[in-house]
Amino acid sequence: MAPTRNNFYWINYEIISPSNQKLIEIDLKFKSRESTLRDAAYQAFHKGIMVREPSQVLALATEPLPLADEYRFVRKYFHALWAWYVLLIRLLSFHNPVKEVRAFAKTFRVKRVDVFARTKAYPDYAGFAGTLLQHKPRVSVIIPTLNRYSYLNDVLTDLEQQTYSNLEVIVVDQSEPFQAGLYENRSIEIRVIRQQEKALWKARNEAIRQSAGELILLYDDDSRVKQNWVEEHIRCLDYFEADISAGVSISVVGSKVPRHYSFFRWADQLDTGNAMVRREVFEHIGLFDLQFEKQRMGDGEFGLRAYLNGCISVSNPMADRLHLKADSGGLRQMGSWDGFRPTSWWAPRPVPSVLYLTRSYFGNRVAL
């Protein structure tokens, strides 16, 4: 699946700058040149090399790659058990067993590599103050909440202490009983929308419709952030000329941002508990899909839709949040922990929305 525009995620090693080439370990042990170039492009993606020049995009050949190259790639970047799993699946799906075993055996000595050993640095980012920060656009912070007032109080306090001040906070409160006093005597502009139906995606959509900001900041009601959180999201959009700043999350106090999200790179996920989106994105691709209501992966579907429509999303390690993962309220109260773990033993697995997403974008065969 490729974007309809801005499709420059896989770059050609032979064309990029020497400074970017130095970050990549070119592997000449693949049987085909095409495999070597695809391997280099994979490394570049995961090392944070972001090139937006169409002439540097790798044109992918349509011919199948050598089977041994496929197994070599799996062994290089994934646990060895995955190579065995791929072999088993291919044998069970009636591929030529002699060819499969022979290609698999040729990769026994291939060692797993650390693709994150050297990553792209952007040394001028920290002091960057582009037109967005100078213009100070209105930011609408969208917070759906359901029975988490103790957490929400800290959320609002963190927002009051932000270094960036041109904010409006829109809280869609679905809690029972409603506690209006929580929102009184705050130093920031807060608008509360009362919603009787316990529905996350409906809440986010309604808040976006009523928002006035040029930038929409999606946030959760059980999170904590640093004082420069909003500013860092804006800086990322500005510096990389991105449509989405995909913030990262940690779930343990004092822990570090996961290594693979500790540097700027093309985003491969969208967490609607910590993401800033330009308003034009919603105007172009629409709001969240209500088919995911009371289920999971609504943010994943939106991220995939944005990608396919050519929206530029950058993973932003500077806009991190502590996700406290409250054990009650929110989606916990609606019946699932994640896409494959409903809170009830008798509920379907995976959650039906996972199959809906898979069928919608990848077809029935993949869903099965």
Higher pLDDT, 24 or 295: 24
Per-residue confidence (pLDDT) for residue 335, from 0 to 100: 52
Both 246 and 162 in one domain: the answer is yes
Q: Taking residues 173-198, what's their average pLDDT?
A: 96
pLDDT for 333 beyond 70 = no
Confirm whether 4 is domain-assigned. Answer: no
pLDDT at 187: 96
Whether residue 148 sits in one domain with residue 168: yes
Judge whether 174 lies within some domain: yes
Residue 343 predicted with pLDDT over 80: no
Task: Give CA–CA dist 11/53, Å, rounded.
Answer: 9
Question: Does residue 51 lie in a domain region?
Answer: yes
Mean pLDDT of all residues in 279-292: 95
pLDDT over 60 (residue 311): yes
Distance CA(125)–CA(1), nearest Å, equals 31
How far apart CA 340 and CA 358 sit, in angstroms, is 13
- Domain housing 80: 18-105
The answer to whether position 120 is within a domain reads no
Asked if residue 111 is part of any domain, the answer here is no
What is d(CA 218, CA 51) in angstroms, rounded to the nearest whole number?
27
> What pLDDT was estimated at residue 212?
97
What confidence tens digit (pLDDT) does each residue in 72-115 have? 999 999 999 999 999 999 999 999 999 999 999 999 999 999 99
pLDDT value at residue 314: 98
Structural domain contains residue 11: no
pLDDT of residue 360: 80
The answer to whether residue 295 scores a pLDDT higher than 80 is: no
> What percent of the chain has a predicted confidence (pLDDT) above 90?
78
Domain count for the chain, please give it: 3
Q: What is the pLDDT of residue 340?
A: 53
Whether 343 and 360 map to the same domain: the answer is yes
| Residues 245 and 300: beta-carbon distance below 8 Å | no
* Percentage of residues of the chain with pLDDT beyond 70: 92
Are residues 158 and 45 located together in one domain of the fold? no
Please check whether residue 7 lies inside any domain of the structure.
no
Q: Which of 84, 103, 115, 113 is nearest to 31 (CA)?
A: 103
Please state the rounded mean pLDDT for residues 270-292: 96
Across the chain, mean pLDDT equals 91
108-128: buried (b, 16+ CB within 10 Å) or exposed (e) per residue? eebeeeebbeebeeeeeeeee
Residue 146 covered by a domain = yes
pLDDT at 352: 73
**Boundary of a domain, candidates 105, 140, 170:** 105
Q: Are residues 294 and 308 in the same domain?
A: yes
Residue 203 shares a structural domain with residue 260: yes
Q: Kindly indicate the confidence band of residue 263, based on its pLDDT and cuts at 50, 70 and 90.
A: very high
- Reference 169, options 150, 153, 156; nearest CA is 156
The 10s digit of each residue's pLDDT in 223-244 is 999 999 999 999 999 999 999 9
Residues 199 and 290 in one domain: yes
* Together in a domain, 186 and 152: yes
Distance in angstroms between the alpha carbons of the first and the last residue of the chain: 19
Q: Are residues 155 and 76 in the same domain?
A: no
Q: Is the domain of 283 the same as that of 349?
A: no
Claim to verify: residue 101 and residue 181 sit in the same structural domain: no
Does 253 share its domain with 309? Answer: yes
CB distance 292 to 353 below 8 Å: yes
Question: Are 243 and 281 a contacting pair, CB within 8 Å?
Answer: yes
Of 44, 70, 105, the last residue of a domain is 105
Q: What is the CATH number of the domain that holds 165?
A: 3.90.550.10
